[in-house]
């Protein structure tokens, strides 16, 4: 009896992207710097390495 071969799963490499939104330029509580800082802190808490976080910050989406 032939048993089907199962494909081995490739290791999952999580991707990281930051999306920032500026709705009011004068509101410091939602400034891009504040949002970017929060994104970095969350990414660190999730276990992303410094290089990945720096790349995401450098390429942040701003809408």
- Structural domains in the chain (count): 1
Residue 47 lies in a domain: yes
48 CB-near residues (< 8 Å, 6+ apart): 14, 16, 56
Residue 49 lies in a domain: yes
Residue 50 lies in a domain: yes
Residue 55 lies in a domain: yes
Q: Give the pLDDT score at 2.
A: 63
Residue 33 lies in a domain: yes
Q: Does the global pTM surpass 0.75?
A: no
Residue 12 lies in a domain: no
Q: Give the pLDDT score at 55.
A: 94
Q: What is the mean pLDDT of each run of 10 residues along the chain (63 residues)?
A: 64 84 70 93 96 94 89
Q: Please report where in the chains the tokens 């989406």 appear, as a residue.
A: 61
Residue 39 lies in a domain: yes
Are the beta carbons of 57 and 44 closer than 8 angstroms? no
Q: Give the pLDDT score at 42.
A: 97
Residue 16 lies in a domain: no
Cα angle vertex 18, ends 51, 53, to 5°? 10
Q: Which domain holds residue 31?
A: 22-62
């Amino acid at each position: 009896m032939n048993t089907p071969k199962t494909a081995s799963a490739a290791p999952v490499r999580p991707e990281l992207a930051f999306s920032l939104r500026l709705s009011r330029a004068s509101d410091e509580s939602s400034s891009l710097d504040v949002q970017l800082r929060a994104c970095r802190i969350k990414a660190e808490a999730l276990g992303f390495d410094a290089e990945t976080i720096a790349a995401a910050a450098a390429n942040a989406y701003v809408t």
